[in-house]
Amino acid sequence: MSKILHLSLGANYYLYRKPVKMSRSFDSLAAIIRCELEKDIISGDVFIFLNKNRCMIKIFVYENGGFSIFYRRLDEGSFQVPLINADATVSYKMTTEQMIAMLSGMTVESGGTVKAPRHEPLHGAVV
């Protein structure tokens, strides 16, 4: 999990189900939210965008009078998304628990949660 990102239990988290080019920034992500998701960009809702390989994520939110984008790229692996019906809409409303699991690298499976592999420190790092 990130030291600078706080997930609120009262927030609405919307996962955009189509892959997005990570070169997109504030205006083009806002256009997706307004036109395709038909959501209000200044509602305080949180919008999640992933690239095709799901190794990069952008989290878009409006708060305190301005827009913020949190951008993360994994060194290896991919972000695990919840199981979603193929016929579902273009967005999926995620729970806070699903967001925490996705950002922390855990894989959520039926019957429980499987944690990500144990972190191995870099060679020469003080443990």
pLDDT score, position 119:
47
What is the residue range of 74's domain? 13-114
pTM above 0.95, yes or no: no
The answer to whether residues 34 and 47 touch, using CB atoms and an 8 Å cutoff, is no
Tell whether 45 is covered by a domain: yes
Mean pLDDT of the chain: 81
Q: Angle 78-23-18 (CA atoms, 0-180°, nearest 5)?
A: 55
The answer to whether residues 82 and 98 touch, using CB atoms and an 8 Å cutoff, is yes
What's the CA gap between 7 and 1, in Å, rounded? 10
Tell me how many domains the chain contains.
1
Note the pLDDT tens digit of each residue in 25-78.
999 999 999 999 999 999 989 999 999 988 999 999 998 889 999 999 888 888
Tell whether 126 is covered by a domain: no
Tell whether 124 is covered by a domain: no
Tell whether 127 is covered by a domain: no
Tell whether 5 is covered by a domain: no
Tell whether 74 is covered by a domain: yes
Residues 6+ apart with CB under 8 A from 112: none
Tell whether 88 is covered by a domain: yes
Tell whether 23 is covered by a domain: yes
Q: Where are the beta strands (DSSP E) in the chain?
A: 13-16, 46-50, 56-63, 66-73, 91-94, 107-109, 112-114
